[in-house]
Structure 1
Amino acid sequence: MRRFISNTIFFVCTVLGLIVSVDVSASALPSQLNVDYAVYSPLSLVIKKFNWLEKEFENDDVHINWVFTPGSTVALKNLKNDSINFASTASLSSVWSRSGDNRIKSVYVVARAEWASLLVPRDSPISSVKELKGKRVGATLGTDHYFFLLRALKEVGLHKNDLEIVPLQQNEERTTREFNSVDAWSGLEPEVSMSQMKNGSRVIYRNILFNSFGVLNVTEAFADKYPDAVSRVIKVYERARRWVLKYPDDFEALYAEEAKLPLQVARVALNKYDFFNPVIDRNDMAMLRAASSVLKEEELINPDTDLDKVISDLVDRNFVLKQLTSGSVKP
């Protein structure tokens, strides 16, 4: 009888333990997710438009708070300050930020794109990167098109100190160009296509190899505390990725509407994007290692920084690989 009572107590305690653990697991979500959306991250616009994140978490009492991001620098700053939980940035920008004290993880490829170019006004006499020496060039510090400019300069033997880089946020660029306060600018899509088609701006330099890919970032602390939230947000991003591949015409119309662009501009800009592989692969890692050298050369990070370690610590493929193998993503 004593053994029966002991076994019964053990069984009840075990069941209660399981119930408690299930409850803890079920509540292991924040009450609110702060997620950024950006014109340079088209998947984020799709997800926001269709309320897919809201639907994913509607039974969990998790509120979705959307925060507009004008560029990678702002996104990374907001991520560091815990103003947002998920940030869309260029991958080289993430390396730069991780090289400092921003302990982030890049967990998903939101796009590979040729989104950066060097442009000049239609009537400008400038026709090459070498001619930018001594000129005023607009660029957004810490963004991919800023690093694109630095790499283009390096290719012709110039450095950032050989010209004046005018710091601009992405939404300031069009106004600055209209007032001709810069001689050239390193622009990002869709601003590049808009400027070309509307104002006749000329591209003087493009190089797809100098464009880093776009990633979704979270902080290490958030990923450790809320891994289920990270997995489910990635699941929704994966749903969006599959949707844009399946419905390209609808995607173009949606992007034009959400980004407030003429349809033809949206079409040209999106033609420079690739959404086929959401995983950071070996080629991506090699590209980041090659590209990151400019951070030291232009004295943007500590010269003793171990960039190989920074990149290894930054990239986390586990979340996306789990989603791709689970079969839980709707087409």
Structure 2
Amino acid sequence: MKRLMQRWVTAAALSASIVAGAVGASYEQERIVRIGFQKYGELVLLKSKGTLESRLAGEGYKVVWTEFPSGPPLLEALNVGSIDFGSTGEAPPIFAQAAGAPIQYVAYEPPAPKGEAILVPKDSPLKSVAELKGKKVALNKGSNVHYLLVKALEKAGVKYSEIEPVFLAPADARAAFVRGAVDAWVIWDPFQSAAEAAAGARILADGTGIVSNYQFYFSSNKFLEANPKIVDLVLAQLSEVDEWAQGDIHAVAEQLAPSIGLSAPVVELALKRQSYGIKPINDKVVADQQQVADAFFALGLIPKQIKISDVARRPGS
């Protein structure tokens, strides 16, 4: 009886170890990198090219892509743990950090001031930003164009409180713009280039001489702490696709257009206004981003002052 009990215990222990091993192997096989992307930038190019999947498969990771209409909902998804990595413009991370989101800046792209603009209908009588005083201006609240509008008005001598902001997501803003429900629309590419091509929208002002229009890459604190090498691998793949895109923008536009539902000429124009050359976060970029945060706090758009350096991952960290 004693010998039978020993055999049973040994068999049970072996069975348990096999199950544990199977569960562990299953867990290893199901490791996932969840990436949020929009209809612009290197992430949508990387998704289109399809090279990240095979590279991460070699590390035991699967890639899950989720599209977002703009930066604020993307960073909210990062905040609640629905995605691990993503990219937005300058303003969304300011609002996210002020709300306590556990984000980390991990890289950036050089300025692309022509990649966002204040648009007016082709037959609009408005000729300058100063003439927006008292007018309805559509924009995506908390997005990169929010800062463009703030600084363009400031440069023109118009107070932010002297215009009527109409907060709409890109699709709704386009509809309002086309039917004349708003006087102007502040928007980024490729929505900007699409509006120029389809509706004959006229650029009242782009970011040139007003804002930098950086694009930033982010990871959640949790994912970055657990998977720093995977974050670096994604960034390395982005750098490769960056070089590919610069090599033949026309060919890239032809390949990308069907997947994002825009014509190749529209995509090509947007790509030409995009910046290239992904870089690690540095002091200059942190200082520039701090200016955005300070401007939003001064206007009462965020509830507290924040320090960008608190959430900026530097090389080697």
TM-score, with length taken from structure 1:
0.80
Post-superposition offset of 1:198: 2.2
- Asked if structure 2 preserves the Cα contact closer than 8 Å seen for 1:129 and 1:205, the reply is yes
Question: How far does residue 104 in structure 1 lie from its aligned partner after superposition?
Answer: 0.8
One-letter amino acid of the counterpart of residue 275, structure 1: Y
Unmatched segments (≥5 aa) in structure 1: 1-23, 323-331
Counterpart for residue 203 of structure 1? 203
Residue of structure 1 in register with 2:253 after alignment: 252
Query: Deviation of residue 282 (structure 1)?
Result: 4.1
- Aligned Cα RMSD in Å? 2.3
State the match for 1:21 in structure 2: none
1:318 aligns with 2:315: yes
SS in 2 for 1:292: helix
Deviations 1:217-251 (A, max 9, x none): 11112211222221222222122112222333322
Partner of residue 105, structure 1: 104
The code of the aligned residue for 2:64 comes to: N
Q: Which residue of 1 aligns with 2:92?
A: 93
Partner residue of 2:58? 59
What per-residue deviation string (whole Å, max 9, x for no partner) do you get for residues 5-33 of structure 1? xxxxxxxxxxxxxxxxxxx9xx8897222
Deviation per residue, 1:182-239 (Å, 9 max, x gap): 1111111112122122222111122334142111111112211222221222222122
Deviation at 1:158, TM superposition (A): 2.9
Q: What does residue 179 of structure 2 align with? A: 179
Gap change, CA 1:111 and 1:85, over 3 Å in 2: farther
Which residue in 2 is equivalent to 1:154?
Answer: 154
The alpha-carbon distance between structure 1 residues 188 and 244, as it changes in their structure 2 partners (threshold 3 A), is same
Equivalent position SS for 1:117 = strand
Matched, 1:71 2:70: yes
2:186 aligned with 1:189: no
2:124 match: 124
Q: Deviations over 1:30-67 (max 9, x none)?
A: 722211121122x1122212222210122344221110
- Give the % identical residues: 22
Distance 1:224 1:68, change over 3 A: same
CA distance in 1 between partners of 2:110 and 2:71 (Å): 14
In the alignment, which residue of structure 2 is the partner of 1:226? Answer: 227
Shift of 1:165: 1.1
Which residue in the other structure is 2:281 paired with? 280
Aligned partner of 1:235 in structure 2 is 236
Answer whether contact 1:29 1:229 (CA < 8 A) is retained.
no
Deviation at 1:107, TM superposition (A): 0.7
> Shift of residue 153 of structure 1?
1.7
* Partner Cα separation in structure 2 for residue 276 and residue 238 of structure 1: 7
CA-to-aligned-CA distance 1:48-88 (integer Å, 9 cap, x gap) = 12222210122344221110011111111111011111121
